[in-house]
Amino acid sequence: MYVDAPPGIKADQLSVTIRTDRLRIGLKGADRYFIDEATYGKVKPAESSWYLDDSGIISIVLAKVYRGETWEAALGGAQRSDPTLQAASQEQIRKDLMLERFQEENPGFDFRGAEFNGAVPDPRTFMGGIGYK
């Protein structure tokens, strides 16, 4: 996810805390965070990261505990306004995760142009589920 940092801020002035169930972003020494939200699902803090780029954007990578799990948003407080768009987005995420799973299970094959007939299966449960954590 990407967050605009306050103007003129340097990375060493930021306090970014990634926990299993929560993301907090603020300024060091401040009494509150400008983002303090529950994550949509469980996160691996040790495998997650963040950085501040030269244009003032904080880039955050949250590593999911359960690979193949689809999230509606990175943070649990986010609301979706159009259920049709949400369903289409979820379908695309499932497709991307299935193709990633196929690629990892079959490293010699190229699945970039693969298509699914009908609904895309859930990558966490399809044919015994994901065999890795």
Strand partners, 51: 59
Structural domains in the chain? 1-79 (2.60.40.790), 80-126 (no CATH)
Q: Which phi and psi angles does 64 have, rounded to 5°?
A: -70, 145
Q: What is the per-residue DSSP string for 9-72? A: --GGGEEEEE-SSEEEEEETT-SSEEEEEEBSS-B-GGG-EEEE-TTSEEEEEPPBSSTT---S
CB 14 within 8 A of CB 26: yes
Residue 109 half-sphere exposure, CB side, CA atoms within 13 Å?
11
Worst-scoring range by mean pLDDT, 1-5, 76-80, 82-86, 123-127? 82-86
More confident residue, 118 or 92: 92
Query: What is the arithmetic mean of pLDDT over 103-107?
Result: 83
Band of pLDDT at residue 51, cut at 50, 70 and 90: very high
Task: Report pTM.
Answer: 0.65
